[in-house]
Amino acid sequence: MRLFAISDLHVSHALNRQVVEAMRPHPDDWLIIAGDVGDTSDQVEWALRLLRDRFRRLVWVPGNHDLWTLPHDPLQLRGEARYRHLVERCRSLGVLTPEDPYPVVETCGVTLVLAPLFLLYDYTFRPDGQGKQEALDRAARLGVLCSDEYFLHPDPYPGRDDWCRERVRVTAERLDGAPPEHRLLLVSHFPLRRDLARLPLFPEFALWCGTARTDAWHRRYRAALVVSGHLHTPGSTWRDGTRFEEVSLGYPHEWSRWGGPPEPRQLVPGGVPD
């Protein structure tokens, strides 16, 4: 069994829908989808249903787009209720979610605990000495404002940062109970480390890219590999002996510059320490 990963399918774009429809079957392999499948519940379910029939198993974590509540979406659930609805839809399709037991997988001779995580952001990826409101005001002045501020509702929490803190708390409790005999493969839509949220053209957008509370999770939880998306900058990075993979497909104007859409990335082999 091989283990593949991709994120940021953004099937609201017609060209990205074509990319998903053209993905080759891998009936013996697993596919991790690290968030941002679509902008509406119907788009998310369409893609998961299609890919479920092409892979042995799918693993999904939500991205910020998956949690949007757009005015034209027939599903008007918001925040936590929307997330729980998507989890139940995934379960009805046989897709693993962050709310399910962490599976132990053996892939290419490597045994890992596969831990899908639902984490958000709390505006802590900002310059040192700068407060949250100051950083938000600066981003707004520069014309850098995430659409989450309009469409990603945190209900029933007061704010997205409050929801993030709760997700960090409950996720840490689950990870603390993971089987200790194997290394972990952590999957999050958002990068777990502040220094990986590199956006040279729009550095202020890092505010919406994660939480400093997870900076050391790759060490704390014995991670051999960390998979994420969101940044639309696919590539590999190493920190403290752990490999970090950004696996975004991204928008058509982005992947067209790379010579075409990337295939789902095979995660192992590729440098996974014992």
What's the pLDDT score for residue 272? 58
* Structural domains of the chain, with CATH: 3-266 (3.60.21)
What's the pLDDT score for residue 274? 52
What's the pLDDT score for residue 258? 83
Token readout for 81 is 């209720």
Model pTM score: 0.95
What's the pLDDT score for residue 38? 98
Helices (H) and strands (E) in the chain, counts: 8, 10
Q: Are residues 191 and 229 in contact, defined by beta-carbon separation less than 8 angstroms?
A: no
The DSSP result for 114-148, as a single string, is: EEE------S-SS-TT--HHHHHHHHHHTT---TH
What's the pLDDT score for residue 108? 87
The amino acid that residue 47 corresponds to is A
Token readout for 219 is 């060490």
Residues in the chain where the model's pLDDT stays below 70: 271-274
Return all residues near 158 (Cβ < 8 A) that are at least 6 apart.
none
